Chain A
Amino acid sequence: MATSNGNGETQTKKYTAKDFASDQDVRWCPGCGDYSILAQVQRILPDLDTPKEKHVFISGIGCSSRFPYYMDAYGVHGIHGRAPAIASGVKTANPDLTVWVATGDGDALSIGGNHLIHSLRRNIGLKILMFNNRIYGLTKGQYSPTSELGKKTKSTPYGTIDYPFNPVQLALGAEGTFVARCLDRDPKHLQQVLLRAARHKGTSFIEIYQNCNVFNDGAFLKLTEKETKPDNVLYLEHGKPLVFGKENDKGVRLNGFTPEIVSLKDGKSGLNDVLVYDEKSFDLAVLLATFSDRPGFPTPIGIFFIAERKSYEEMMSAQIQEVTKKRGAGDLDKLLKSGNTWVVSSN
């Protein structure tokens, strides 16, 4: 069946997830959270109505960065930390492409921190999937910029003395226009967020909590296990009250500028007291981003913030069009012969 994509082009084939799987054997460790992320991406791509050849996956270095090899699309396995830089070149050179970045906490936040913040600031249309397992996997177990303070790893036998980044806060501070957090072990939710990220104009940033079952097993267990998840995960939904708990029995309320958790069971507070989430509110996003660092607070999962802002490549093309309209398409001969010229005659 013929469908039309956002660019007015026709996609004649209806894809399935399998169409996006390459012929390469997947070489992540058995049980790695990366498998789920790969599967969810392959599952949502058929829903995007974008022809397969227009998807480009760019990565850096690390376990997550093997991602492009497993996708039957265009891909570049780049160098450590530089995926956003390479992807920025691809997207600005050809805005018609859908450009994804697969990266990890070390790749994106440590060696590549500069490129990450600047692509967010410029709002280049990249879909950045940052697999956060809070450890260096491919180099076999050193701490990462998201490892919790005091963590004992191969390079920190007495515990780290590095304070970690909060990636969501960082992305918001870097002017990100689509900032979200997901769990590798909540595939349905991950698919929903991926779809919205793919359709967002400008940079989308998704931090995906991903379990490294070899070097940091169980890092997010509290958030993914049936028993503990309800009391520790707060799903952000636009227009919905911020409630969580096994029986949706807890809510988030503002006391002045300070958030607090209230019981919705003890009769003192009701749903009307609870904050209603607004994904367009930068203030709420910044506040909720702090929750994962506040003792006793649930970890928010979902879309923290979405803003409509012109993308870099849009403005780049518009400027070129405007100048071309004003000056006419460039004439090389005239350009070469511009400026103060003089003629030397043959005698």
Chain B
Amino acid sequence: MSKTIETLDDVVIRFAGDSGDGMQLTGTQFTNTTALVGNDLSTLPDYPAEIRAPAGTLFGVSSFQLHFSSWDILTPGDHPDVLVAMNPAALKVHLKDLKKGGVIIANIDSFDDKNLTLAGYEANPLSSGSLSNYQVIEVPITKLTLNALQGSGLSQKEMVRCKNFFALGLMYWMYSRPLDTTEQWIKEKFGKEPQIAEANDKALKAGFYYGESTEAFAARFEVKPAQLKPGLYRNITGNEATALGVVAAAQRAGLPLYYASYPITPASDILHNLSAYKNFNVKTYQAEDEIAAAGAAVGASYAGSLAVTGTSGPGAALKSETISLGIMLELPLVIVDVQRGGPSTGLPTKTEQSDLMFVTYGRHGEAPAPVIAAATPADCFNMAYEAARIAIKYMTPVYLLTDGYLANGSEPWLVPDAKDLSPIPVHFRTDPENFNPYSRNENNVRPWALPGTPGLEHRIGGLEKANITGDVSYDPDNHDFMVHLRAEKVKGIEKDIPLQDVYGEQSGELLVVSWGGTFGAVRSTVDRMRKNGYKISHAHLRYLHPFPRNLGDVLKSFKTIFVPEINLGQLAKLLRSEYLIPAVQYNKVRGLPIRSAELEEAIKAALGGAK
């Protein structure tokens, strides 16, 4: 029996369950299949810091949201159309986000007294009538999975564990997705455990056929492929893109890559990815702590590698003394800060634009370092490459800011040809004639002179350097000169970065200025409002220190500067102090991306009724 198929432009699905229910895996599988079908997509994984929080509890809920469409989208979506709730806690936590009239697919098997109590429900919401504004589809997911796996030879517990594949199969049916990508993945993943592989495969198919045969689903849907720019695509997370970006930069610079890091959420995946790329002349070093990781990176840079150290807020704090040393030594170094909620341990698995001020100013002394930020998961590739280029060309530590949302979120990436990536020239000093370790080129950059080079033996260190010779100097005028010189060197990079572009009119009533991972939410909001007649523009910054050299002019062309951030106004403060302009702030610090609808209201308020 076949059912009618309705065509939709876009859909937002959220899978939610216990942190042990495999929701991240389910979401990732749906994402990969959806990418291959040719939809544009954007994802938002959201999981607790605990690996296996107690089952059934509200704080143990893990979710994965996916927005896919037949057009170009920029955000994982504010409000899901469909919520797959594997237990009462998942329903309780996520119901408030669901669109009015949205679909709830609930695993009724888990709505027992114990789980209802754990979730804080006094009555079963499925039968109490409290969900009358939604379309509730009750599916006995656990029971159906067990039925499908009778005779599999697995224990009851092992069979129950397959239920996420049942849910995945059901959603594949509902949105007309093929099963083969996941079938292939199961085969590879569980190759050594054929029983488990077979069970997961069976559960997947059982879910798919359940959709086909049950009366509960009147219709299924399809979302046609998006009209993306032609080319070869792959789905990529921000952390994967960052890892590939630094490998690509090292290869195009002809340098070995040295990645020193200490495990920290949400940056560890960069280390995991790079440690697998050994045949790309990549060395990874899991240091004893954050400080050692920074120290080893400085050492590797001194010895002639493209050195990178990755971390998140707490680690960035620990590294700061070593980065100061890197600034004094004037050695190339890329520091990736995958920002997360702070202060202190804060919200390790949640996103926040927490560290812009910190990486710009958070070092002792006058210690200038360039700061750049990625806008989308795939953009992490470009900006990682750019960070390496600036570091090498200007012999300086460079901060690359990404965040938890970009790091774990994914989107289709139009993969570049390696040969189209502009080469990064590297010049090692080898000529001993008139060699001075702190002599300067036209960009105020000192030579990179590697240990092992005959005739260039010299000493560098954290004590103030005499200009040119690099000898230790306590001379007051020399210090004044060097402090200015280091600042000018970094400031001079503004000549070497793109001018700030403005989306929409180049002058007018209101300019929204954003940076980092809020790009998607801000651009789609501005776009929607413009279509509705609002004369607003958008400038998204990827270069934060130094700012693009035309930024002052851009800002002064608008009556109101509106700065939305997932912090208390760090960019707004920088813009005010640099350009002496007023800036209206919008700040929501929830550990989650900015919601487009709320942002729209805030922009309207800032416009004060103007359109």
Q: Which residues of A contact B (CB under 8 A)?
A: 22, 24, 51-54, 56, 58-59, 61, 68-69, 71-79, 82, 85-94, 96-97, 114-115, 118, 316, 319-320, 323-324, 326-330, 332-333, 335-346
The residue on A at minimum CB distance from B453 is A53
Contact between B289 and A114, CB atoms less than 8 A apart: yes
Minimal beta-carbon separation of B152 from chain A (angstroms)? 28
Q: CA separation between A324 and B415, bound complex, in Å?
A: 24
Per CB-CB distance, the 3 closest pairs between chain A and chain B, nearest first, are: A89-B299, A77-B461, A85-B295
Contact between A93 and B452, CB atoms less than 8 A apart: no
Contact between A332 and B247, CB atoms less than 8 A apart: yes
- One of B181, B258, B416, B452 near A96 (C-beta < 8 A): B452
Contact between B451 and A53, CB atoms less than 8 A apart: yes
Give every chain A residue within 8 A of B247 (Cβ-Cβ): 330, 332, 335
The residue on A at minimum CB distance from B245 is A336
Task: Apart from A69-B472, A330-B277, A344-B231, list 6 A-B contacts with CB within 8 A.
Answer: A53-B457, A79-B325, A82-B322, A86-B296, A91-B299, A336-B244
Give every chain B residue within 8 A of A88 (Cβ-Cβ): 285, 287, 292, 295-296, 299
Does B291 count as interface, using CB distance less than 8 angstroms? Answer: yes
The residue on A at minimum CB distance from B184 is A340
Q: CA separation between A92 and B291, bound complex, in Å?
A: 17
Contact between B280 and A92, CB atoms less than 8 A apart: no
Contact between A92 and B285, CB atoms less than 8 A apart: yes
Contact between A329 and B283, CB atoms less than 8 A apart: no
Give every chain B residue within 8 A of A51 (Cβ-Cβ): 454
The residue on B at minimum CB distance from A69 is B459
Q: Mark B297-337, 1 if CB is under 8 A from A, else 0.
A: 11111111101000000000000011011000100000000
Minimal beta-carbon separation of B72 from chain A (angstroms)? 12
Contact between A76 and B288, CB atoms less than 8 A apart: no
Contact between B461 and A68, CB atoms less than 8 A apart: yes
Q: CA separation between A326 and B36, bound complex, in Å?
A: 30
Contact between B299 and A344, CB atoms less than 8 A apart: no
Q: Could you count the A-B residue pairs with CB atoms below 8 Å apart for me: how many are there?
A: 210
Does B483 count as interface, using CB distance less than 8 angstroms? Answer: no
Considering only residues 156-190 of chain B, those with a C-beta below 8 Å from chain A are 181
Contact between B36 and A320, CB atoms less than 8 A apart: no
Contact between A341 and B278, CB atoms less than 8 A apart: no
> Which segment, of B80-88, B232-240, B367-375, faces chain A?
B232-240
Does B214 count as interface, using CB distance less than 8 angstroms? Answer: no
Contact between A78 and B283, CB atoms less than 8 A apart: no
Contact between A333 and B417, CB atoms less than 8 A apart: yes
Contact between A94 and B451, CB atoms less than 8 A apart: yes
Minimal beta-carbon separation of A27 from chain B (angstroms)? 9
Q: CA separation between A96 and B453, bound complex, in Å?
A: 12
Contact between A332 and B248, CB atoms less than 8 A apart: yes
Contact between A97 and B248, CB atoms less than 8 A apart: no
Contact between B292 and A97, CB atoms less than 8 A apart: no
Q: CA separation between A104 and B88, bound complex, in Å?
A: 60
Q: CA separation between A78 and B307, bound complex, in Å?
A: 17
Contact between A339 and B459, CB atoms less than 8 A apart: no
Contact between A89 and B251, CB atoms less than 8 A apart: no
Give every chain B residue within 8 A of A323 (Cβ-Cβ): 278-279
Minimal beta-carbon separation of B545 from chain A (angstroms)? 23
Q: CA separation between A319 and B279, bound complex, in Å?
A: 9
Give every chain B residue within 8 A of A69 (Cβ-Cβ): 459, 461, 472
Minimal beta-carbon separation of B294 from chain A (angstroms)? 8
Give every chain B residue within 8 A of A339 (Cβ-Cβ): 234-236
Give every chain B residue within 8 A of A91 (Cβ-Cβ): 299
- One of A82, A319, A344 near B38 (C-beta < 8 A): A344
Q: Mark B215-253, 1 if CB is under 8 A from A, else 0.
A: 000000000010011111111100000001001100110
Q: A87-B299, A90-B303, A344-B229 are in contact. Are A54 and B419 (CB under 8 A)?
A: no
Contact between B417 and A54, CB atoms less than 8 A apart: no
Give every chain A residue within 8 A of B307 (Cβ-Cβ): 89, 93
Q: CA separation between A327 and B282, bound complex, in Å?
A: 14
Q: A77-B461, A324-B279, A330-B281 are in contact. Are A340 and B36 (CB under 8 A)?
A: yes
Q: CA separation between A97 and B304, bound complex, in Å?
A: 12
